Amino acid sequence: MIIAAPRRFSGDTLVIASHNAGKVGEIAELLRPYARTFRSAGDLGLPEPEETGQTFAANAELKARAIALASGSVALADDSGLAVAALDGQPGIYSARWGGPGRDFLLAMTRVNDELGDSADRSAAFICALALAWPDGHCETVVGRVAGALVWPPRGSNGFGYDPMFVPCGHDQTFGELSAATKHALSHRADAFRQLVARCFG
């Protein structure tokens, strides 16, 4: 069986398939050495497609391919979320939806804590799938993760999403308390980006 070599990114403009300003900023910062110009789906007025996949990777690929086709440029999509061991991996791919129509993450974090109840198992992992897609439909996908434990009440105002309740292994501060530089070095997104850079940008 012949395995094709990964396709390398060779342009100067990368479209980030997201309307989430926090996510777009993090992604742009991580890839700044490799692309000259970053645009987002929001900048281009492109709607995010419905996430109908059953895994983080499937949803990332769906979004990246749709935005690459619509924009005519190479597009990068991320699908990420929190997987809680005692909740059988929930909220998982539904992490944002646990915050309701307004994606209220205080509501989402409260729901996670309520669902856990008095469970002694507070272990969880953030998972991030990254898909880099070309307008012809070709896609390169990687998956990163970081393990940790959940705390309550939430702590810190840095980051976004479930960051204020997640303490990565080996640390005593939440992602909401850690500096952006420290979080970027540790996070599931950073793990996925290391893999993607080695595969498509390095």
CA dihedral 54, 176, 34, 62 (to 10 degrees): 10
Residue with tokens 């292994």: 169
Q: Per-residue pLDDT for the chain (202 aa), expressed as one digit of tens each?
A: 566 789 999 888 899 998 888 778 878 888 888 888 899 998 899 988 888 999 999 999 999 999 999 999 999 999 999 999 999 999 999 998 999 998 899 999 999 999 999 999 999 999 999 999 999 999 999 999 999 999 999 999 988 899 999 999 999 999 999 998 898 889 898 899 999 999 998 6
The Cα 196–Cα 132 span in angstroms is 8
Residues 171, 119: Cα–Cα separation, whole Å: 21
The DSSP line for 108-148 is HHHHHHHHHTT-S--EEEEEEEEEEE-TTS-EEEEEEEEEE
pTM of the model: 0.89
151 sits in the region (left: phi over 0; alpha: psi -120 to 50; else beta) called: beta
> Which sequence positions are flagged as catalytic?
79
